[in-house]
Chains A and B, each alone.
Chain A
Amino acid sequence: MPSVTVFCFLASYAVAFGLEIARWFRKISINRIVVLVAAAAGMVAHTIYLLNRSGQTGKPPLLSSTHDWMLVLAWLVIGSYLLLTALNRKLPLGVFLLPVVIVLIIMAYFVSDGPNLRVGPKAAIEQAHSGWVMLHATLLVFGITGVVVGFVLSVMYLYQHRRLKHHQAMANDLALPSLERLARLNRSAVIISVPLLTLGMLFGVFMGLLSRKGPNPISFADPIVISNSIVWLVMLVFFVWLLATRRPVGKQVAWTTIWAFGFLLVTIISLQVLTGDLDVIQTWH
Chain B
Amino acid sequence: MNLQVVYCNHHSAALAVRERLAFSSEELLHAAYDRLRVDFPDSEIVVLSTCNRVELYAAHESPDEAPTHQQIARFFADFHQIPLDEFVDDLLEQTGPDAVRHLFEVTSSVDSMVLGEPQIVSQVKEAYDVAMKNDACGPLTNALFQGALRVSARVRTETKLSEGRVSIASVAVGEFGKSIFDRFDDKTVLIIGAGEMAEETLRYLKEEGVRDIIVVNRSLKRAEELAAEWGGRTEPFDKLDECLVAADVIVSTTGADRPIIDVPRFQQVLEKREGRAVFVLDLGAPRDFEPAVGEIDDSVFLYDIDSLEQTCERNRGKRVKEIERAQRLIEEETAKFMHDVYHQATGPVVKRLREEWHDIRRQEVERLNKKLSHLAAEDVREIEQSIERIVNKLLHPPLKALKDEAKEGTPHGLIDAMKRLFHLGD
Contact = CB atoms under 8 A, between A and B. Distances in A.
A112 B181 CA distance: 46
A84 B264 CA distance: 44
B274 A247 contact: yes
Contacts of B310: 167-169
Interface stretch (B67-75, B297-305, B319-327): B297-305
From A180, A181, A250, A251, name the one whose CB has the most chain B CB atoms within 10 angstroms.
A180
Interface in A161-186: 161, 163-165, 167-170, 175-181, 184
Interface stretch (B33-41, B172-180, B339-347): B172-180
B182 interface: yes
Contact of A179 (B180, B274, B311): B180
Interface residues of A, number: 23
A270 B301 CA distance: 39
A100 to B, nearest CB: 23
A178 B180 contact: yes
Count class of interface residues, chain B: 20 to 34
B277 interface: yes
Contacts of A246: 274
B314 A169 contact: yes
Given A180-B277, A251-B298, A167 B178 contact: no
Contacts of A176: 179
Contact of A169 (B175, B182, B275): B175
Contacts of B389: none
B276 interface: yes
A160 interface: yes
Nearest to B181: A180
B307 A247 contact: no
Contacts of B307: 167
Nearest to B180: A179
A247 B277 CA distance: 11
Interface in A203-221: none
Interface string B282-322: 00000000000010001101010001001100100000000
Contact of A165 (B178, B181, B298, B311): B298
Nearest to B175: A169
B329 to A, nearest CB: 29
A80 to B, nearest CB: 20
B271 to A, nearest CB: 14
A251 B277 CA distance: 10
Interface string B4-44: 00000000000000000000000000000000000000000
10 contacts: A160-B179, A164-B176, A164-B179, A167-B307, A169-B310, A170-B175, A176-B179, A179-B181, A180-B181, A250-B299
Q: Which 5 pairs, one residue from A and one from B, show the smallest C-beta to C-beta distance?
A: A167-B307, A169-B311, A249-B275, A180-B182, A169-B310
Interface of A: 160-161, 163-165, 167-170, 175-181, 184, 246-251
Given A164-B179, A169-B310, A178-B179, 11 more contacts: A163-B179, A167-B176, A169-B311, A170-B175, A179-B181, A180-B180, A180-B183, A180-B277, A184-B182, A248-B275, A251-B298
